[in-house]
Structure 1
Amino acid sequence: MAIEIERKFLVRDAGWREAVSRSTRMVQGYLVAEPGLTLRVRIAGERALLTLKGASRGIARAEYEYPVPLADAEAMLRDLACTALVEKVRHLVPVADRVWEVDEFAGANAGLVLAELELEDERAAFVRPDWLGEEVSDDPRYFNARLARHPYRDW
C-alpha cells in the first residue's frame, strides 16, 4: 500500500522565493470528495494524474497516483468534477536535504500560501525554514478537497 506522510504549514513571509528551483501551474478537481475517500484529477504543466486518497490518520493516509492522458484529464475536469476547480502554482524549494512544496493558490483561494513536506516517517526530523508559519497538518480547512468546496475567500 502507498502511504503519504505529509506535514503542512502556513507561510508567514516571502523568504522562500529566493530559493525556488522550479514552479509549475496546476489545476485540479475532485470526482469524489467524501470524508474517507477522494478521487482527484490534476493537471500539472503538461502532465495529468489521477489520485485516490484514503482517510487521514494523523498526518498519514493511503495514496495511489496514476498518469492519465492530458486530454482525458481535461475532459474529466470539465465533465465529471463534483467540486469547483483548485488553481495554484507549486514552487519547489530545497531546504537542507529536503524539498518543500510551496503552493501559492489562485482563483477563489487567492492569498493562501501553504508549504508541504512529504516525509518517510511521521517522526522524521527536518529543518524548519524561517519563512514557515503555523502548522496546519490537522486542520481540514487546508485540505485541497475542502478548499474546492469552501474556498479561502469565503472564510
Structure 2
Amino acid sequence: MAQEIERKFLVKNDDFKKESFKETKIVQGFLSTVPERTVRIRIKGDKGFITVKGIGNKSGTSRYEWEREISVEDATDLLKISEPGVIDKTRNNVKSGEHTFEVDEFYGENDGLIVAEVELGSENENFIKPNWLGEEVTGQVKYYNSMLMKNPYKNW
C-alpha cells in the first residue's frame, strides 16, 4: 500500500517565488470528499490525474495515496460530474537542501492562501526549513484541498 508522508506549512511571504525552479497551473475537483476515501480529479499543466487518498493517521502526517495519470479529456469530463466547487492554484517547486517544497498559491474563493508541503521518507525525517516557511498546519483538516473546496479561505 502506497503511503504519503508529508508536512504542511503556511507561507509568510512570496520570497519562495525567486527560488522556484518550476511553476505549474493546477485545477482540481473531487468525486468524493469523505475522509476515508477522497477521490480527486486534477489537471496539472497538460496532464490529467485521478488520485485516491485514505484517512490520515493521528498526526495527519501519513495516509494512503494512489494516483494514476489519465487523459486531460477524461479529467475534464470527470470534473464536470465532480462535487460542487473547484480548486484553482499555481504550484511552485522550491528546492531546500535534499527536499523539494511544493508551494501552492490559491485563487478564486481561496485567494490569499499560500501553503507549502514537503514529502518525507519517514515521519521523523529532518529537513531544512526555508525562511519564508510559516506556521505548521499538518493535520489541520481545514487546509486540506477537499475542505477548501467546501469551506473556502474567504469564509474564515
TM range (shorter): over 0.9
Distance 1:85 1:151 in 2: 10
Aligned to 2:153: 152
What is the match of residue 84 of structure 2?
83
Q: Which runs of 5+ in 1 are unaligned?
A: none
Runs of 4+ in 1 over 4 A off after TM superposition: none
CA offset digits 1:8-28 (Å, max 9, x no partner): 000011221111001000000
Deviation of the 1:132 alpha carbon: 0.5
Residue type matched to 1:117 in 2? V
2:12 corresponds to which residue? Answer: 12
User: In structure 2, what is the equivalent of residue 60 of structure 1?
Assistant: 62
2:75 aligned residue: 73
Please name the residue that 1:134 is paired with: 135
1:29 CA displacement: 0.3
Which letter does structure 2 place at the counterpart of 1:23? E
Q: Structure 1: how far apart are the matches of 2:113 and 2:82?
A: 22
Give the corresponding residue for 2:126: 125
Q: For residue 44 of structure 1, what is the amino acid of its counterpart?
A: K
What is the match of residue 42 of structure 1? 42
Distance 1:83 1:134 in 2: 29
SS at match of 2:26: strand
SS class of match (1:21):
strand
Following superposition, the deviation at residue 39 of structure 1 comes to 0.3
Look up the SS of the partner of 2:79 in the other structure.
helix
Write the letter of the residue equivalent to 2:92.
H
Percent identity, please: 40
The amino acid of 1:145's aligned partner reads S
Tell me the matched-pair count.
154
Structure 1: distance between partners of 2:76 and 2:34: 22
Give the TM-score normalised by the residue count of structure 1: 0.97
Residue in 1 that maps onto 2:97: 96
Q: Give per-residue Cα distances to partners, 1:124-147, cap 9 Å, x unaligned.
A: 000011110000002111000000
Deviation at 1:83, TM superposition (A): 3.0
Structure 2: where are the runs of 5+ without partners?
Answer: none
- AA aligned to 1:151 is P
